[in-house]
Structure formats: C-alpha cells, structure tokens
Structure 1
Amino acid sequence: MTTFNPLRLDGRHILVTGASSGIGRRTAVMLHALGARLSVVDRDEAGLVSLGAELSAGEAVAQHVADLSDIAGIEALVGRCVDAGGRLHGVVHCAGIQAIVPVRTLQIDGWRRIFAVNTEAALMLGKCLSSRKVYAGQHGAIVFISSVMGTVGSVGAVAYSMSKAALDGMARSLSLELASRGIRVNCIAPGFVRTPLFEQTERLWDEETKRAVEDLHPLGFGEAEDVAHAVAFLVADTGRWITGSTLVVDGGYLAR
C-alpha cells in the first residue's frame, strides 16, 4: 500500500531561478528529490552544468542560461522552458542581487539593476505563469525569496531593502489576482544564510562583527537547506491553503 505524502511533486514542472548556487541550488536539489521536473535558470552556465551533474538528472532537468536583469527577455525564456518541459505548475524565484552600498555612493544604474533582478523579474515571472499557454492549470505555486531586510533596516542595504519590501507587497497583491486561477503566491524571508553571497559579505567583517551578527540569530546562522525546506513546503500540497504570506525563516532574527 502506497503512503500518501503531501510533499511529493511527481509530475509537476517547476522553474527555479538562481539555481547555480546557494539557496537556488539547494532548492533545485530538494524539489528534484521530491519528484519535480525542473527548468533551472541562471546566468552562470558552469554552475548549471555542475548542478545537472549533481542531480544525474538526464531529461528531468532542463538548463537555461539567462540574465534576469533583462526583464523584456523573460517571457521568451519562460516560453523556452515550456517548449522543453511542458507547461509549468510553479515558479521559485531565488535569483537576486545582494549588495552593501552606502547611500552616498549608490548609483542609479546600481539600484535599478538590484530592483530589476530582485523585484521586477519576479513580477514578470508571475505574469508569465498567469498565461494559459504557460500554466499547467493545477497545483499552481509561486515562491519568491525575499529577506528579513524587507522588514527591518541595515546600514548599506537601502537598495536591497527597497527591493525586498516591494517584493513582499507585490506578492500580496499578486496572490489575490491569481487566486481564482488556483495559483498561490508567497514569499520566504530568510535571515543570514551561509551561501556564496553571504561569504562575500562575511569577508568584510572582523571576528567581533561576525559574532555580533550571528548573535542576532538565536538559532545561529542558517544554511541554504533550511530555506529549501520551506520552499518545498509552500510549493507542495502542504501549502495548499497558504497564499499572500511571507514565511519568515530567520533563526529568530525578527523575534528580537
């Protein structure tokens, strides 16, 4: 007798952006292990090839190299994903730019690129999934990776915080618009998670600063798998009655 598992994603086609490393890569690995067919997107071709080798996936994973700051090109990208793997059941937008830039040195082109990848690309992906040509018609789920910085402030994170706060608000409205189509829309707001992006920031800290930041997380720094687990919960039937929410996965950071 087969035991029902609401986390299983067998037969579902999920698009994952930012899949070459960090949270995106762990998310792709997790969803693949749960049975999903994947279209993985990143601008790092070598990283995608490495991911495919890790999964030993064959036809279960289709790789697409793209720079998501090209908003106008996303519709064609999604079309290629559908052509290669069939219509989509869900989208997980993990791609993002995290930059520590003091406002006095922040340049227009810089903050617009952050906003384009973190927020505008998410909106375009949601718009694409709303199309009958793209959406498989059932089990619809969109998950955007936001940040605790969308709720609280941090020195040097003006553009990043702006992009994530806007992402949270956009997702709430999008969830209402797509509910009639059976597509759920949620965000996940991680705290500080050990990823290659975080390691770049961590190198700028001395030991005292590192301890101070880690102490802000009662459970310590997170791992990419911690966020991937939350993504799986929201994408699968375990999250079927959750929409318009931001799930905080931060080791207690916002509890202080």
Structure 2
Amino acid sequence: MSSFNPFSLDAKHILVTGASSGIGREVAIWLSRQGAVLTLVARDEERLAATAQALEGKGHQTAVIDFLGDEDVSRWMKELVRSSCPFDGLVHAAGVQMPMPIRATSLNHWEKIMSTNVSSGFSLIKAFRQKGVCQPDSSIVLISSVMARAGEPALLGYCASKGAVESMARAAALELAREGIRVNCVAPGVVQTEMVESLQNLIGEDSMQAIREKHPLGIGNPSDVAYAVNYLLSPAARWVTGTSLVVDGGYLA
C-alpha cells in the first residue's frame, strides 16, 4: 500500500514573510509541524525570534528586512540560499491594513499601503524566480483578502491593494508556469489577529459586530488560513495556479 501523502511538506524549504505576527506567524508554526524547513522574514527581530522559538523541527533560519527600505531583494534572496539551499516555496504574508476614511487619506498613506502590500510582493516574485533560488515545481502563495472582491468603509487602500495582489498573481502564474513555478493567493475573511484588533479600536465594537455577522461561520482563526497555505504549497496542488482560494467563513456568499 502506498504511503505517499500529497499534502506533505517534509524537508521542503519555505520562505515565510510577515512571520513575526498574525497569519504569517501561524503559517510558519503550522508548516514546521508538517516537516518544512523555514526561513522566517520580518522587520521586528525580537518578535521574529519568538516565532522561531515556537517552531518544530531543525534547520530553520531568520532574516530581518524592511521591504520599504533600499535593500536589493533579488540580491538578498540569493544570499539567503547561499547559506542554506534553494527554496521550494514562498509565502508572502507581510502586509498592512491602515484603515482611513477617504477624506483623511493622503497620497503618502495610499502609497505606503501599495508599497507594503503590492510592490513587496512583486520584488519577492522577481527574486524567487532567479536561477538557483528556487527548486523545480515550486510554489508561491500570496496572502490576499476577501477585500480584493468586496468593499468596506475606511479600507479603500487595502481593498485596492489586495485586488492588485490577485491580478499580479494571475499574470505571474501564466508567465512563470514554463519555469515550473505555481503562483496562487489565499483570500481570508476577517481572522482574529492583531490587525483585526487595531481595526476594532478604530471603528468601535458596534461596527465590528456588524462585520462579524457578515461571516456565517463566524470570525476565522489564523490556523484556518495556514491549512489553505499548506495545500497550495504541497504536491496536492500541482495542477492549481493563477487562482485565489477563498477562506472566509461564508463572507462572500
């Protein structure tokens, strides 16, 4: 009887950005439990170290980078694989929400959201596809949001940025298919993270309750997203590219 497990990530080398908190942190911990060897990336060194302490298995490494800085991401990623081995997968979970009414949104505010949520993803995709950086049959997973397809007040920039992330993933999937790289998104609904807590502080409990009621299965947990990411990274998703897997408790329904 075959023991092949198409969902296994055993010994796969995965790069996870935004690994110091929220969805990125939970994704990293879950993937380590599935046997993956992780390179964790974030801006906050102390919180990143805390995530690393929570991982299972051996051989993990951490790297601190600010994607809004002057760092050459392509060169940085080549340096990462020199000290370890090529990547089998990339999960880009770093991002910001930064709620703000349209009347109060400055161009600088808008551009910071776009740079953090969209431009960083472009830089990582471009860096990941370099010769020697990724293995054949590798997978990129970008964390999108249901806000790519639905709107909420005070989230104009966030909605626009996540729509751009999904369009970027579709185009990249077509271009990189010949290189053996799959590109997909996971689009969560509202998940209980630090980002959601800051949103609640801004809009108040009544408005937050209204958002909760839009999720027939209730607010999600970061682990719900991690399981979907696991699937898209694994051989089980070998025929899946250029799409966005919605994990939203029924929000879009």
- The alpha-carbon deviation at position 3 of structure 1 amounts to 2.1
Segments of structure 1 that go 5 or more residues without pairing to the other structure are none
* Deviation larger for 204-213 or 5-14: 204-213
TM-score of the aligned structures, taking structure 2 as reference length: 0.95
Which amino acid letter does the alignment assign opposite residue 108 of structure 1? L
Counterpart of 1:123 in structure 2 is 122
Q: Judging changes above 3 Å, is the alpha-carbon distance between structure 1 residues 133 and 71 closer, same or farther for their aligned structure 2 residues?
A: farther
Q: Helix, strand or coil: the match of 1:172?
A: helix
The answer to whether structure 1 residue 3 and structure 2 residue 6 are counterparts is no
* Deviation larger for 146-155 or 79-88: 79-88
Q: CA–CA distance in 1 between the matches of 2:185 and 2:179?
A: 18
TM alignment of 1:139-178, pairs within 5 A: 139-178=137-176
- The alpha-carbon deviation at position 9 of structure 1 amounts to 1.3
| Root-mean-square deviation (Å) | 1.5
TM alignment of 1:72-151, pairs within 5 A: 72-136=71-135, 138-151=136-149
- The alpha-carbon deviation at position 127 of structure 1 amounts to 1.0
Q: Helix, strand or coil: the match of 1:19?
A: coil
Counterpart of 1:24 in structure 2 is 24
TM alignment of 1:179-194, pairs within 5 A: 179-194=177-192
* Deviation larger for 124-133 or 49-58: 49-58
Q: CA–CA distance in 2 between the matches of 1:205 and 1:157?
A: 11
Counterpart of 1:202 in structure 2 is 200
Q: CA–CA distance in 2 between the matches of 1:178 and 1:71?
A: 26
Aligned length: 253
Q: CA–CA distance in 2 between the matches of 1:84 and 1:36?
A: 17
The answer to whether structure 1 residue 253 and structure 2 residue 251 are counterparts is yes
Match of 2:223 among 204, 222, 225: 225
1:141-191 Cα offsets, whole Å, 9 max, x none, are: 000000111111111111111111011101101000010111100011111
Q: CA–CA distance in 1 between the matches of 2:205 and 2:128?
A: 45
Counterpart of 2:45 in structure 1 is 45
Counterpart of 1:36 in structure 2 is 36
Q: Helix, strand or coil: the match of 1:193?
A: coil
Q: CA–CA distance in 1 between the matches of 2:5 and 2:217?
A: 29
- The alpha-carbon deviation at position 199 of structure 1 amounts to 1.0
Q: CA–CA distance in 2 between the matches of 1:71 and 1:177?
A: 27
- The alpha-carbon deviation at position 12 of structure 1 amounts to 1.6
Q: Judging changes above 3 Å, is the alpha-carbon distance between structure 1 residues 234 and 56 closer, same or farther for their aligned structure 2 residues?
A: closer
Q: Helix, strand or coil: the match of 1:254?
A: coil
- The alpha-carbon deviation at position 139 of structure 1 amounts to 2.8
Determine if contact 1:90/1:142 at 8 Å carries over to the other structure. yes
- The alpha-carbon deviation at position 209 of structure 1 amounts to 2.2
Determine if contact 2:43/2:66 at 8 Å carries over to the other structure. yes
- The alpha-carbon deviation at position 70 of structure 1 amounts to 2.8
